[in-house]
Structure 1
Amino acid sequence: MLKGFYTATSGMLSMQYRQDQLTNNLANSNTPGFKADQSVTRSFPTMLMQANNAYQNPSRQVVGELPTAVYLQEHLMNAQQGDIQQTGQATDLALVQGGATDGAAVFFAVETENGIRYTRNGNFQVDLNGNLVTASGGRVLGTDGNPLQVGNESFTIQPSGIVVVDGEEIGSLEVVVADDVNDLIKEGNGYVRNDQTDMQSAYNVDTVTFSVQQYALENSNVDVTSTMNEMLQAYRLFEANQKVIQAYDQSLEKTVNEVGRIN
């Protein structure tokens, strides 16, 4: 009977984690460049049930399988390109990606207080020092590894990433590629980091093509309708496992109360 408790409890926990992940996706559905997370659920190793007289039968006749529980194994990032929306703002930049293998993605490189981070959120602005920065103050980097100084909002960034200020090329916007976005760790403010390997410059990777669109932003790739349906499904599965636990609890209560009772 306790196995039923464990199975239902693990199901509730799995659906709770999934609900949290879906809620986070929905909350960021309007965040430029946000990449939705997808959860992968796995079952614990299945137990093989055997006949009571298996000790007399060398072949040990199998009479069925008993799945014991499920758990949320991992979160996977959806690297699919988001829709491009024109904004008319010179400091807004969108990365348009092509040619990459499944799971690969390109990112802007940003210098933050915690080191180099990466983002798809191109909702930039110009600070008092003329640096192109993120909303949280991270400085956008050029291919030379230094922050891009555009001076004011009268600058142009070509599709190839070249930055032009007052008719003069001052450098190129650094764009890096992650071979597998699931190696990345999400942080706040739309940043991700890679603790496993250094990110290569996308300019040096032949299998990846990209362009930079100025006056535009990449929308989140969260499908709001699908996410809400998945949240409802997760809630119903959570509720179903909850009812199973309540049934076991009532059964155990009845068993305990009747143990040793003399009629």
Structure 2
Amino acid sequence: MLRGFYGAASGMITQQRQTEMLNNNLANAETPGYKGEQGSIRAFPEMLIQAQGTNAQPGNIPYTVGSMNTGVYMQEQTPNFAQGDMRETGNNTDLAIQQGDLPINEETDRPGALFFTVANEDGDVRYTRNGNLTVDGEGFLTTAQGYYVLDEDGDPMNVENEFFDVDEAGNITDEDGAAVGQLNVVLAEQPEDLVKEGDGLFALDDEEAEPLPTAIGAEDVDYTINQQMLEQSNIDPQQAMTDLMQSQRTFESNQTVLQAYDQSMELAVSEVGRLQ
């Protein structure tokens, strides 16, 4: 009976984490460049139950009753790096990466993903798909949170004001037509290994690892930079809501099972074990 408690409780914990993940996806359904998360739910190894001390088989060999599941758990949460839809904004500082053909990773059999490079408040390189940019008081191109957008040399880009132009390769010219620099777009061959941080940023799982390689000039990487456009999140709100309702129903089912075990345990303690 105690194993039943553990099985039902593990199901409730797993669905609670699934619900939190889905709620976070829904909350960011309108966040530009947001990549929704997917949960991988796995079952613990099954146990083989045998009856000891029985004559059911010759030679008193333990009789096999059958297997028993020991519960489930959420193994990991991984972002889905599928391309989001494009939305025209008319805002000159809005930029979006439109991915084309990308190399397929042999280990995962999936294509990589492209990112803008920015510097966080500590000056560390981070990666983002959120192209909702702005120009600060000193003329630097930054994210909405104030993180500097970096060029191909890893330096912050000073565009002076919002009247700049960006071509499909990411080359920026100011309002006088003078070259400012080129946006550094990088390729993550295994984006699943990136660590998701707040404000739409991704980091390498190892801070001492080499930065992601630039995609500028790579022959097998195809992309375009679209100005006055934003990449929407790749969340399907209707599907996310359906998954959320299913997760809540599964949680409630496990809760009902747990309550049934609790009532049975109460009877076992108060009635069955009572001395006459």
Question: What band does the TM-score fall into relative to the shorter chain?
Answer: over 0.9
1:1-150 to 2 correspondence within 5 Å? 1-52=1-52, 53=54, 62-100=64-102, 101=104, 102=110, 104-114=112-122, 115-150=124-159
Aligned length: 263
Is 2:150–2:157's contact at 8 Å kept on the other side of the alignment? yes
Deviation at 1:229, TM superposition (A): 0.4
CA shift digits 1:223-250 (9 cap, x unpaired): 1000000000000000000011100100
Deviations 1:15-54 (A, max 9, x none): 0000000000000000000000000000001112335448
Task: Measure, in 2, the Cα distance between the counterparts of 1:252 and 1:103.
Answer: 52
Alpha-carbon distance change, 58 to 137 in structure 1, aligned in 2, over 3 angstroms: farther
> Alpha carbons of 1:261 and 1:98: their partners in 2 closer, same or farther (altered >3 Å)?
same
For residues 260 and 22 of structure 1, the distance between their equivalents in structure 2, rounded to whole angstroms, comes to: 45
Where does the alignment leave 5 or more consecutive residues of structure 1 unmatched?
none
CA shift for structure 1 position 111: 1.0
* Gaps in structure 2 of 5+ consecutive residues: 105-109
The CA deviation at 1:63 is: 4.4
For 1:37, the aligned partner's letter is: E
Contact 1:12 1:242 (C-alpha < 8 Å) held by counterparts:
yes
Q: Is the 8 A contact 1:79 1:103 kept in 2?
A: no
Provide closer, same or farther for how the CA distance between residues 255 and 138 of structure 1 changes in structure 2, counting only shifts above 3 A: same
Worse-superposed segment, 18-27 or 195-204:
195-204
Instruction: Give, in angstroms, the shift of residue 195 of structure 1.
Output: 2.5
What TM-score do you get using the length of structure 1 for normalisation? 0.94
Aligned to 2:230: 217
Q: Deviations over 1:92-134 (max 9, x none)?
A: 0000012123252111000111311111000001111111000
What does residue 255 of structure 1 align with? Answer: 268
Q: Choose the corresponding residue for 2:192, options 169, 182, 187.
A: 182
> Could you list the per-position Cα deviations for residues 124-150 of structure 1 after superposition, in whole angstroms to 9, with x for gaps in the alignment?
011111110001100100001111111
Q: Which moved more, 1:192-201 or 1:208-217?
A: 192-201
Counterpart amino acid of 2:192? N
State which of 254, 259, 263 in structure 2 corresponds to 1:241. 254
Deviation at 1:170, TM superposition (A): 2.2
Report the TM-score when normalising by structure 2.
Answer: 0.90
Q: 1:207 aligns with which of 220, 228, 231?
A: 220
Asked if structure 1 preserves the Cα contact closer than 8 Å seen for 2:34 and 2:233, the reply is: yes
- After alignment, is 216-225 or 191-200 more displaced? 191-200
Letter matched to residue 129 of structure 1? E
- Does the CA contact (< 8 Å) of 2:57 and 2:63 recur in 1? no
